[in-house]
Structure 1
Amino acid sequence: MINDQTILETLRHDGGFTLFVKAAEDSGVADILNGDDTLTIFAPEDAAFVKLPDSALDLLESDPALARELLLFHIGEGTVLSENAVETAIFRTLQGGELALSVAKSIFYVELTPVKRPDIVAANGVIHAIGTVLIPETIRDQLLEEKGGAA
Protein backbone atom coordinates (compact mmCIF):
# COMPACT_ATOMS: atom_id res chain seq x y z
CA MET A 1 0.00 0.00 0.00
CA ILE A 2 1.31 3.41 -0.94
CA ASN A 3 1.10 6.05 1.76
CA ASP A 4 0.68 9.62 0.52
CA GLN A 5 1.03 11.08 4.03
CA THR A 6 4.26 12.71 5.16
CA ILE A 7 6.28 11.26 8.01
CA LEU A 8 4.68 13.73 10.45
CA GLU A 9 1.17 12.93 9.23
CA THR A 10 1.89 9.20 9.45
CA LEU A 11 3.21 9.54 13.01
CA ARG A 12 0.18 11.61 13.99
CA HIS A 13 -2.26 9.17 12.34
CA ASP A 14 -0.63 6.16 14.03
CA GLY A 15 -1.47 7.48 17.51
CA GLY A 16 1.49 5.85 19.24
CA PHE A 17 3.84 8.80 18.79
CA THR A 18 1.92 11.70 20.36
CA LEU A 19 4.85 12.83 22.54
CA PHE A 20 7.28 12.74 19.61
CA VAL A 21 4.82 14.67 17.42
CA LYS A 22 4.26 17.32 20.11
CA ALA A 23 8.01 17.76 20.61
CA ALA A 24 8.48 17.98 16.83
CA GLU A 25 5.83 20.68 16.55
CA ASP A 26 7.19 22.63 19.53
CA SER A 27 10.81 22.49 18.32
CA GLY A 28 10.37 23.16 14.59
CA VAL A 29 11.28 19.59 13.58
CA ALA A 30 7.74 19.14 12.22
CA ASP A 31 8.70 21.24 9.18
CA ILE A 32 11.52 18.80 8.39
CA LEU A 33 9.20 15.80 8.77
CA ASN A 34 6.66 17.43 6.46
CA GLY A 35 9.29 18.45 3.89
CA ASP A 36 10.24 17.03 0.52
CA ASP A 37 13.53 15.46 1.61
CA THR A 38 13.55 11.67 1.86
CA LEU A 39 14.23 10.69 5.47
CA THR A 40 14.58 7.71 7.75
CA ILE A 41 13.42 8.17 11.32
CA PHE A 42 13.83 5.96 14.35
CA ALA A 43 10.78 7.23 16.23
CA PRO A 44 10.42 6.52 19.94
CA GLU A 45 6.91 5.48 20.85
CA ASP A 46 5.12 7.27 23.69
CA ALA A 47 6.08 4.50 26.14
CA ALA A 48 9.75 5.28 25.45
CA PHE A 49 9.35 8.93 26.46
CA VAL A 50 7.43 7.95 29.59
CA LYS A 51 10.48 5.90 30.70
CA LEU A 52 12.58 9.09 30.85
CA PRO A 53 12.91 10.82 34.23
CA ASP A 54 10.26 13.49 34.84
CA SER A 55 13.01 16.11 35.00
CA ALA A 56 14.13 15.15 31.47
CA LEU A 57 10.59 15.38 30.13
CA ASP A 58 10.12 18.78 31.78
CA LEU A 59 13.41 20.01 30.32
CA LEU A 60 12.51 18.82 26.81
CA GLU A 61 9.15 20.55 27.07
CA SER A 62 10.64 23.83 28.28
CA ASP A 63 13.70 23.93 26.00
CA PRO A 64 12.81 23.69 22.27
CA ALA A 65 16.48 23.79 21.22
CA LEU A 66 17.27 20.79 23.40
CA ALA A 67 14.21 18.94 22.12
CA ARG A 68 15.24 19.74 18.54
CA GLU A 69 18.72 18.30 19.09
CA LEU A 70 17.25 15.16 20.65
CA LEU A 71 14.74 14.62 17.84
CA LEU A 72 17.25 15.28 15.05
CA PHE A 73 19.40 12.52 16.56
CA HIS A 74 16.63 10.10 15.50
CA ILE A 75 16.44 11.32 11.87
CA GLY A 76 18.72 10.93 8.87
CA GLU A 77 18.68 11.48 5.13
CA GLY A 78 17.72 8.77 2.68
CA THR A 79 15.71 5.61 3.11
CA VAL A 80 16.94 2.72 5.23
CA LEU A 81 14.62 -0.28 5.13
CA SER A 82 15.08 -3.20 7.50
CA GLU A 83 15.12 -5.66 4.60
CA ASN A 84 18.17 -3.89 3.16
CA ALA A 85 20.01 -3.60 6.47
CA VAL A 86 23.40 -5.22 6.64
CA GLU A 87 24.98 -6.90 9.65
CA THR A 88 26.42 -3.58 10.85
CA ALA A 89 26.24 -0.05 9.47
CA ILE A 90 26.55 3.56 10.57
CA PHE A 91 23.58 5.92 10.20
CA ARG A 92 24.40 9.64 10.16
CA THR A 93 21.76 11.79 11.82
CA LEU A 94 20.60 15.32 11.08
CA GLN A 95 21.86 16.22 14.57
CA GLY A 96 25.39 15.40 13.40
CA GLY A 97 25.83 12.22 15.39
CA GLU A 98 25.99 8.62 14.28
CA LEU A 99 23.87 5.63 15.19
CA ALA A 100 25.01 2.02 14.91
CA LEU A 101 22.58 -0.14 12.95
CA SER A 102 22.74 -3.91 13.03
CA VAL A 103 20.82 -7.05 12.23
CA ALA A 104 21.02 -10.20 14.33
CA LYS A 105 18.77 -13.24 14.03
CA SER A 106 16.47 -11.31 11.68
CA ILE A 107 15.98 -8.51 14.23
CA PHE A 108 16.83 -4.94 13.18
CA TYR A 109 18.60 -2.87 15.86
CA VAL A 110 19.55 0.77 16.28
CA GLU A 111 22.16 1.34 19.01
CA LEU A 112 21.42 -2.16 20.39
CA THR A 113 17.73 -1.22 20.71
CA PRO A 114 15.46 -3.57 18.77
CA VAL A 115 13.18 -1.90 16.26
CA LYS A 116 9.65 -2.73 17.41
CA ARG A 117 7.84 -1.90 14.18
CA PRO A 118 10.11 -1.50 11.15
CA ASP A 119 9.41 -0.05 7.73
CA ILE A 120 6.38 2.17 8.28
CA VAL A 121 6.47 3.81 4.87
CA ALA A 122 5.48 7.46 4.39
CA ALA A 123 5.44 9.64 1.27
CA ASN A 124 8.78 11.23 2.19
CA GLY A 125 10.58 8.35 3.87
CA VAL A 126 10.35 5.52 6.34
CA ILE A 127 9.67 5.27 10.07
CA HIS A 128 11.01 2.61 12.40
CA ALA A 129 9.23 2.53 15.78
CA ILE A 130 11.51 2.02 18.76
CA GLY A 131 10.91 1.57 22.48
CA THR A 132 13.80 3.71 23.69
CA VAL A 133 14.63 7.39 23.35
CA LEU A 134 18.13 7.65 21.87
CA ILE A 135 20.10 10.41 23.60
CA PRO A 136 23.15 11.97 21.95
CA GLU A 137 26.29 12.35 24.05
CA THR A 138 26.16 16.12 23.47
CA ILE A 139 23.09 16.48 25.71
CA ARG A 140 23.17 13.29 27.81
CA ASP A 141 24.50 14.96 30.98
CA GLN A 142 22.18 17.94 30.69
CA LEU A 143 19.13 15.78 30.05
CA LEU A 144 19.69 12.88 32.42
CA GLU A 145 21.58 14.47 35.29
CA GLU A 146 19.29 17.43 35.88
CA LYS A 147 18.03 16.89 39.40
CA GLY A 148 15.05 18.68 40.75
CA GLY A 149 15.80 20.81 43.78
CA ALA A 150 13.69 21.10 46.90
CA ALA A 151 10.12 22.01 46.12
Structure 2
Amino acid sequence: MTLKLLTAGCCAAALSLGMVQADHGPTDVGGAAMLPERNIIQNAVNSGDHETLVAAVQAAGLAEVLQGEGPFTVFAPVDAAFQRLPEGTVETLLRPENQDQLQTVLTYHVVPGNLTRDDLWEAVMARDGAASFATVQGERLTVMRNGNNLKVMDRNGNSANLSVVDVAQANGVIHVVDRVLLP
Protein backbone atom coordinates (compact mmCIF):
# COMPACT_ATOMS: atom_id res chain seq x y z
CA MET A 1 0.00 0.00 0.00
CA THR A 2 1.36 3.40 -0.93
CA LEU A 3 0.78 6.00 1.75
CA LYS A 4 1.80 9.63 1.93
CA LEU A 5 2.32 11.55 5.12
CA LEU A 6 1.28 15.05 4.31
CA THR A 7 2.28 17.02 7.35
CA ALA A 8 5.83 17.12 8.64
CA GLY A 9 4.67 17.36 12.25
CA CYS A 10 2.74 14.10 12.11
CA CYS A 11 5.35 11.99 10.33
CA ALA A 12 7.38 10.70 13.24
CA ALA A 13 4.34 10.38 15.48
CA ALA A 14 2.29 8.54 12.88
CA LEU A 15 5.10 6.13 12.14
CA SER A 16 5.62 5.47 15.83
CA LEU A 17 1.88 4.88 16.22
CA GLY A 18 1.86 2.39 13.36
CA MET A 19 -0.65 4.37 11.36
CA VAL A 20 -0.75 7.21 8.91
CA GLN A 21 -2.74 10.34 9.61
CA ALA A 22 -4.12 12.07 6.55
CA ASP A 23 -5.54 15.33 7.73
CA HIS A 24 -4.36 17.80 5.08
CA GLY A 25 -5.29 17.42 1.43
CA PRO A 26 -5.41 14.22 -0.60
CA THR A 27 -3.89 11.01 0.68
CA ASP A 28 -2.84 7.95 -1.29
CA VAL A 29 -4.79 4.83 -0.36
CA GLY A 30 -4.29 1.74 -2.43
CA GLY A 31 -2.13 3.66 -4.89
CA ALA A 32 -4.73 6.34 -5.63
CA ALA A 33 -5.21 9.86 -4.36
CA MET A 34 -8.26 10.18 -2.13
CA LEU A 35 -9.53 13.66 -2.97
CA PRO A 36 -11.46 15.45 -0.21
CA GLU A 37 -13.87 17.02 -2.69
CA ARG A 38 -15.08 13.56 -3.78
CA ASN A 39 -17.56 11.43 -1.87
CA ILE A 40 -16.81 8.09 -0.24
CA ILE A 41 -17.74 5.98 -3.27
CA GLN A 42 -15.98 8.23 -5.80
CA ASN A 43 -12.76 7.79 -3.85
CA ALA A 44 -13.15 4.13 -2.88
CA VAL A 45 -13.55 2.96 -6.48
CA ASN A 46 -10.04 4.28 -7.18
CA SER A 47 -8.34 2.52 -4.27
CA GLY A 48 -6.49 -0.62 -5.25
CA ASP A 49 -6.86 -1.83 -1.65
CA HIS A 50 -10.65 -1.63 -1.53
CA GLU A 51 -11.81 -3.55 -4.62
CA THR A 52 -13.69 -6.15 -2.55
CA LEU A 53 -15.34 -3.48 -0.42
CA VAL A 54 -16.50 -1.57 -3.50
CA ALA A 55 -17.88 -4.75 -5.09
CA ALA A 56 -19.69 -5.57 -1.86
CA VAL A 57 -21.15 -2.05 -1.54
CA GLN A 58 -22.41 -2.26 -5.13
CA ALA A 59 -23.85 -5.76 -4.64
CA ALA A 60 -25.59 -4.60 -1.45
CA GLY A 61 -27.16 -1.64 -3.24
CA LEU A 62 -25.48 0.82 -0.86
CA ALA A 63 -23.45 2.88 -3.35
CA GLU A 64 -26.14 5.56 -3.66
CA VAL A 65 -26.39 5.89 0.14
CA LEU A 66 -22.63 6.33 0.55
CA GLN A 67 -22.66 8.95 -2.19
CA GLY A 68 -25.29 10.84 -0.22
CA GLU A 69 -24.91 13.91 1.92
CA GLY A 70 -23.79 12.16 5.12
CA PRO A 71 -21.67 12.80 6.97
CA PHE A 72 -20.45 9.26 7.49
CA THR A 73 -17.48 7.78 9.29
CA VAL A 74 -16.48 4.59 7.48
CA PHE A 75 -14.16 1.94 8.88
CA ALA A 76 -13.08 0.58 5.47
CA PRO A 77 -11.60 -2.93 5.42
CA VAL A 78 -8.86 -3.55 2.87
CA ASP A 79 -9.00 -6.47 0.44
CA ALA A 80 -6.67 -8.52 2.65
CA ALA A 81 -9.22 -8.18 5.48
CA PHE A 82 -11.89 -9.85 3.33
CA GLN A 83 -9.39 -12.59 2.41
CA ARG A 84 -8.98 -13.37 6.15
CA LEU A 85 -12.65 -14.35 6.43
CA PRO A 86 -13.42 -18.08 6.31
CA GLU A 87 -13.22 -19.52 2.80
CA GLY A 88 -16.37 -18.89 0.78
CA THR A 89 -17.73 -16.13 3.05
CA VAL A 90 -17.28 -13.28 0.58
CA GLU A 91 -18.69 -15.29 -2.31
CA THR A 92 -21.71 -16.27 -0.22
CA LEU A 93 -22.37 -12.70 0.91
CA LEU A 94 -22.17 -11.41 -2.68
CA ARG A 95 -25.00 -13.68 -3.86
CA PRO A 96 -28.22 -11.73 -4.61
CA GLU A 97 -30.23 -13.84 -2.16
CA ASN A 98 -27.88 -12.70 0.65
CA GLN A 99 -28.17 -8.96 -0.02
CA ASP A 100 -29.80 -8.25 3.37
CA GLN A 101 -27.00 -10.02 5.23
CA LEU A 102 -24.38 -8.17 3.16
CA GLN A 103 -26.07 -4.84 3.92
CA THR A 104 -25.99 -5.72 7.62
CA VAL A 105 -22.25 -6.42 7.54
CA LEU A 106 -21.39 -3.31 5.52
CA THR A 107 -23.56 -0.83 7.45
CA TYR A 108 -21.96 -2.16 10.64
CA HIS A 109 -18.76 -0.43 9.41
CA VAL A 110 -20.47 2.98 9.14
CA VAL A 111 -21.07 5.44 11.99
CA PRO A 112 -23.17 8.57 11.44
CA GLY A 113 -21.14 11.79 11.67
CA ASN A 114 -17.67 12.93 10.77
CA LEU A 115 -15.47 11.39 13.47
CA THR A 116 -11.79 12.13 13.01
CA ARG A 117 -9.04 10.20 14.72
CA ASP A 118 -8.81 13.02 17.28
CA ASP A 119 -12.57 12.79 17.94
CA LEU A 120 -12.30 9.04 18.44
CA TRP A 121 -9.21 9.41 20.65
CA GLU A 122 -10.88 12.05 22.84
CA ALA A 123 -13.97 9.86 23.31
CA VAL A 124 -11.81 6.85 24.16
CA MET A 125 -9.69 8.77 26.66
CA ALA A 126 -12.77 10.34 28.29
CA ARG A 127 -14.15 6.84 28.87
CA ASP A 128 -11.06 5.14 30.33
CA GLY A 129 -9.75 3.60 27.12
CA ALA A 130 -12.89 2.49 25.24
CA ALA A 131 -15.85 4.30 23.67
CA SER A 132 -18.93 2.83 22.01
CA PHE A 133 -20.51 4.23 18.84
CA ALA A 134 -23.86 3.38 17.25
CA THR A 135 -23.53 2.19 13.66
CA VAL A 136 -25.90 2.82 10.76
CA GLN A 137 -26.75 -0.89 11.03
CA GLY A 138 -28.09 -0.28 14.55
CA GLU A 139 -25.60 -2.12 16.73
CA ARG A 140 -22.53 -0.68 18.37
CA LEU A 141 -18.81 -0.75 17.69
CA THR A 142 -16.23 -0.11 20.40
CA VAL A 143 -13.18 1.98 19.67
CA MET A 144 -10.32 1.25 22.03
CA ARG A 145 -6.87 2.46 22.77
CA ASN A 146 -4.19 0.07 21.56
CA GLY A 147 -1.03 1.63 22.93
CA ASN A 148 -0.78 4.94 21.09
CA ASN A 149 -3.01 3.66 18.30
CA LEU A 150 -6.72 2.92 18.04
CA LYS A 151 -8.55 -0.25 17.18
CA VAL A 152 -12.22 -0.90 16.62
CA MET A 153 -13.91 -3.99 18.06
CA ASP A 154 -17.12 -5.69 16.97
CA ARG A 155 -19.65 -7.19 19.37
CA ASN A 156 -17.97 -10.60 19.03
CA GLY A 157 -14.65 -9.30 20.37
CA ASN A 158 -12.88 -9.25 16.99
CA SER A 159 -10.76 -6.16 16.50
CA ALA A 160 -9.39 -4.21 13.56
CA ASN A 161 -6.46 -1.82 13.70
CA LEU A 162 -6.78 1.62 12.15
CA SER A 163 -3.91 1.84 9.65
CA VAL A 164 -4.76 5.03 7.76
CA VAL A 165 -6.89 7.63 9.50
CA ASP A 166 -8.65 10.86 8.63
CA VAL A 167 -8.99 10.30 4.89
CA ALA A 168 -11.23 13.29 4.23
CA GLN A 169 -14.25 12.87 1.97
CA ALA A 170 -16.85 15.38 0.79
CA ASN A 171 -19.44 13.49 2.85
CA GLY A 172 -17.41 12.25 5.79
CA VAL A 173 -14.19 10.50 6.66
CA ILE A 174 -12.65 7.07 6.07
CA HIS A 175 -10.42 5.17 8.47
CA VAL A 176 -8.76 2.18 6.80
CA VAL A 177 -8.89 -1.03 8.89
CA ASP A 178 -7.19 -4.40 8.57
CA ARG A 179 -10.14 -6.68 9.49
CA VAL A 180 -13.81 -7.08 8.60
CA LEU A 181 -16.06 -6.42 11.58
CA LEU A 182 -19.08 -8.68 12.05
CA PRO A 183 -22.32 -7.82 13.87
Shorter-chain TM-score range: 0.7 to 0.9
> What is the rounded CA distance, in whole Å, between the counterparts of 2:78 and 2:165 in structure 1?
12
CA contact (8 A) 2:75 2:109 kept: yes
DSSP 3-state at the match of 1:58: helix
The CA deviation at 1:54 is 2.2
Shift of residue 3, structure 1, vs aligned partner: 1.1
CA distance in 1, matches of 2:51, 2:68: 19
Q: Are 1:107 and 2:154 counterparts?
A: no
Q: Residues of 2 paired with 1:49 and 1:134: CA distance?
A: 10
TM-score (norm 1): 0.85
Alpha-carbon separation, structure 1, partners of 2:78 and 2:67: 19
- Structure 1 partner of 2:176: 129
Partner of 2:86: 53
Q: With structure 2 as the length reference, what TM-score do the two structures score?
A: 0.70
- Please state which structure has a larger fraction of its residues in helix: 1
Q: Does 1:37 align with 2:70?
A: yes
Instruction: Work out which of the residue numbers 123, 131, 137 in structure 2 matches 1:95.
Output: 137
Taking only the aligned residue pairs, the percentage that are identical comes to: 29
Give secondary structure in 1 for the equivalent of 2:88.
helix
Which ranges in structure 2 are unaligned for 5 or more consecutive residues?
1-24, 26-34, 154-158
Paired with 2:69 and 2:48, the residues of 1 have a C-alpha distance of: 23
Aligned to 1:74: 109
Cα distance in structure 1, aligned partners of 2:167 and 2:115 = 11
| Alpha-carbon RMSD | 1.3
Question: Which 5+ residue runs of structure 1 have no aligned equivalent?
Answer: 137-151
Deviation at 1:9, TM superposition (A): 1.2
Q: Secondary structure at 1:71's aligned position in 2?
A: helix
Q: Shift of the alpha carbon at 1:14?
A: 2.1
List 4+ stretches of structure 1 deviating above 6 A. Answer: none
- Look up the equivalent residue of 2:108 and give its one-letter code: F
Q: Which whole-Å CA distance do the structure 1 matches of 2:100 and 2:87 have between them?
A: 18
